Every structure is written in structure tokens, then in C-alpha cells.
Amino acid sequence: MTPDPTSSPRRAGDSARLLLRALGELLITTGVVILLFAAYELWGTGLVTDREQGRLVETLERAWREPVRNSSSEGEAAHAEQGSGIAVMRIPALGADWSKVVVEGTGREELKKGPGRMAGTGDFGKVGNTVISGHRTTYGAPFVNLDRLVSGDSILVETKEAIFTYRVYDSEVVRPTDVAVALPVPRRPGAAPTRSLLTLTTCNPKYSARERLIVYAELSESRPKPPASG
């Protein structure tokens, strides 16, 4: 029996179509997975941070209701555990309800909870430079609109013992490796600090980590809070 001369090309065509269909389905599946991951990074991670912020608020408020045991303490942040809440920061220019608990540390796990105080930098209200880092596009994106701050805008930081008001006086964009912004006197290695500064840092531009946006503020007012009663 003579073989059908069209059978081999037909089988080859069927195989090619099956291969293309499988490849198309794989690409669609991969695209869906990528979209789901991107959606989680942009919005889903915010749910994680919201939950952590709620827990931190409760823990911080409970701790603040306890009397101060040692009046000579060097500050809440000086003795805080990594990832624990140390202050509440409010920035009216970013919204009337903008309020975030600041945690101790700027590691990956700490920044999932909210803005973090960089280890080794100053305490709030003290002479020196307190550096706070935060995400811009994921995990609640606390600093998503940090670029909107201008000179004169206020940043309020509440601790157990006082409310500190800082005023923005400058901002800049730097390379991620430029650590001089975190010095006690920014950009002046070895200089002795004479002012109480607050430096906020985040990624720049949005959806990128190739730069860092830096906002500088200086302490303008300190209001002691009445001591908690035991």
C-alpha cells in the first residue's frame, strides 16, 4: 500500500499547532502569575502592614499608659527591641489622617511593619540626626508622597514623654550608596552636631530603587507630655 504523501506534513502541522498552543498557554499562565505577584506587592502587602500597624498602636498606647520607671532614661529608641514601636509620626501635609508608628530598625522585616529608625542614629528631640526610612510603593507605601513635602512643612513625632515638631528645610535625591546623609551632621564627616535633625529617606523614583529621596527637617518645638499615672 502506497503511503499517503500528505500524512507526514499533516502530522508535522498538528505537532506544531500543539506546541504553539502549549507555549501560548504557558505564556498566559506566566503573565497571570506575574500580574498577581505585582498586585500583591502593590496592594496585598499593604494589608500586612495595616495589620502590623494596628498591633503596634495598641502595644505602644498600652506602654505609654505605664509610668516612667527611670527618669534618667536616654530615650525610648535607645533601649527598644528591633521591630518594636518607638514613636508615632504624623505629617499633616500628606493628609489629615496620615499617622504611622515608627519601629526600631530598617531591616526587611522591620520595614514591613512601617517606617523604621536607622540603627545608630539619634534619638527624637536630642542633638544629632534621627534617620527614618520607609517604603514608597509596597507595604503600605508610607512615603509614597514624600516628594510633596516642601520647606516649612511640619513633621510631628510623639513619644511616651513628649511631642516633637520638626520643620522641613531641604530635600535632595542621592545614590543609594550615599550614606553621608545619615551622619550626625549630614554631609559633614566628623562634624559635631549642634542641632536636632530628622532625616526621612525612601526610594526614588516611584517603582524604582536606583536613587534615594532625602528630606531634611529640624526640631522647632518640644512639648512634654504629662507623666502617665500608675
pLDDT, residue 72, reads: 45
Contact at 8 Å (CB) between 198 and 219?
A: yes
pLDDT, residue 86, reads: 98
| CA nearest neighbour of 160 among 133, 114, 124 | 124
Mean pLDDT, 10 residues at a time, the chain of 230 residues:
58 67 62 45 75 96 83 55 97 98 97 97 98 97 98 98 98 97 97 98 96 99 87
pLDDT, residue 212, reads: 98
- Helix (H), strand (E) at residue 221: strand 211-224
State whether the Cα torsion 65-56-162-189 is positive or negative. positive
pLDDT, residue 78, reads: 56
Scored b (16 or more CB within 10 A) or e, 60-90 reads: beeebeeeeeeeeeebbbeebeebbbbbbbb
pTM of the model: 0.80
| CA nearest neighbour of 129 among 92, 166, 174, 88 | 166
CATH code for the domain defined by 49-68+82-224: 2.40.260.10
CA pair distance 176, 218, nearest whole angstrom = 23
pLDDT, residue 37, reads: 44
